């Protein structure tokens, strides 16, 4: 019988990625569409750790919480874990304006995934997707960084690739590491 774990998110793409990465490991992913408190931190690991612990205790269920940080080298790591807020305020166009004169286009997307059971400490694993910032917005799929983030090994921003392909581009090793931990805790 598969172990049931609740993924705390309103983002359907996170559900697809989680199921793709963990579904074959005997783990049943159930989406729980709730907001969790998020601490203000520059460390995405600390943010998911706090939110996962809160949700596990509140709902008395084993939970997974993930979050993503966009780290742009020329901007000293900005916007970091505040990408959602920056999307609402500056938008993708604002990031390209900030990068207009920069020769250094290196960037990475850091995904942190936390697993927590009630009464236990959260366990966090991270993955990184390295790439660069494009000079123009492209694509019609996804949101915010998908229109300007070009993963290493690709020629166009992620927004140029349909959802099925994009979900395979996202790093899944953190999800797989969490799946191993969940399987050990069955």
**Nearest alpha-carbon partner for 44 in 84, 10, 11:** 84
Token duo for residue 70: 């966009």
**Residue 22 in contact with residue 86, Cβ under 8 Å?**
no
Task: Identify the active-site residue in 25, 35, 67, 87.
Answer: 67
Active site residue 67: yes
Q: Dihedrals φ, ψ of 170, to 5°?
A: -60, 140
Q: Dihedrals φ, ψ of 128, to 5°?
A: -125, 140
CA-only gyration radius of the chain, Å: 17
Spacing of C-alpha 60 from chain mean position: 24
End-to-end Cα, the chain, rounded Å: 10
**Residue 113 in contact with residue 124, Cβ under 8 Å?**
yes
DSSP run (H or E) holding 46 = helix 44-59
Residues designated catalytic: 67
């Amino acid at each position: 019988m598969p172990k049931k774990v609740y993924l705390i998110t309103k983002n359907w793409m996170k559900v697809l990625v989680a199921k793709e990465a963990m579904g074959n490991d005997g783990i049943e992913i159930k989406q729980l569409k709730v907001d969790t408190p998020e601490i203000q931190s520059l460390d995405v690991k600390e943010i998911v750790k706090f939110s996962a612990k809160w949700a596990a205790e509140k709902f008395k269920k084993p939970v997974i919480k993930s979050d993503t940080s966009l780290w742009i080298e020329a901007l000293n790591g900005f916007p970091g874990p505040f990408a959602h807020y920056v999307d609402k305020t500056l938008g993708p166009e604002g990031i390209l304006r900030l990068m207009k004169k920069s020769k250094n286009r290196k960037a990475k997307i850091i995904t942190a995934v936390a697993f927590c059971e009630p009464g236990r400490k959260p366990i966090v694993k991270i993955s990184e997707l390295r790439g660069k910032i494009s000079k123009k917005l492209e694509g019609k799929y996804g949101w915010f960084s998908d229109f300007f983030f070009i993963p290493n090994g690709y020629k166009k921003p992620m927004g140029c690739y349909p959802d099925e392909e994009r979900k395979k581009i996202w790093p899944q090793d953190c999800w797989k590491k969490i799946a191993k931990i969940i399987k050990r805790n069955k």
